[in-house]
A = this chain, B = another copy of it.
Amino acid sequence: MTQEDPSLKERKVISIGTVRDLTGLSERQIRYYEERKLIFPARSGSGIRKYSFSDVERLMEIANQMEEGVQTHEIRREWKKKEKENENWKKQMLKGQIQAHFKQNRN
């Protein structure tokens, strides 16, 4: 109904204590993963970290990787890789769209 929904999952509104409860991680761990550039909370005016549901999901993925013994460094590397692949995929899709468009016009 109210149209501001699209990004509910991305809104940074959850503070670290709640994230702790949601993920089962310690605050120390959550802050550390930020230090290692795995997670990027927003900050309230007074400097308090605010997380989104997306961030919470991400933290749970990180927790899984860590359990498997993967180092934060590796997690970050893999993440960036997938990010790049995703971008390329989007580019290809766009290309396809454009070609399809011209094809249609020629018929």
* Interface residues, chain A, with chain B CB atoms under 8 Å away: 1-2, 8-9, 11, 13-15, 17-18, 21-22, 44, 50, 53, 57, 60
9 extra interface residue pairs, beta carbon distance < 8 Å, beyond A1-B57, A15-B18: A2-B60, A8-B8, A11-B53, A13-B13, A13-B14, A13-B18, A15-B15, A18-B44, A18-B50
A17 CB, min distance to chain B CBs, angstroms:
8
Give the oligomeric copy count: 2
User: What's the Cα separation between A44 and B21 when bound, in Å?
Assistant: 10
A60's nearest neighbour on chain B, judged by CB, is B2
A19's nearest neighbour on chain B, judged by CB, is B13
Q: Which residues of B contact A44 (CB under 8 A)?
A: 17-18, 21
Query: Contact: B18 with A53, CB < 8 Å?
Result: no
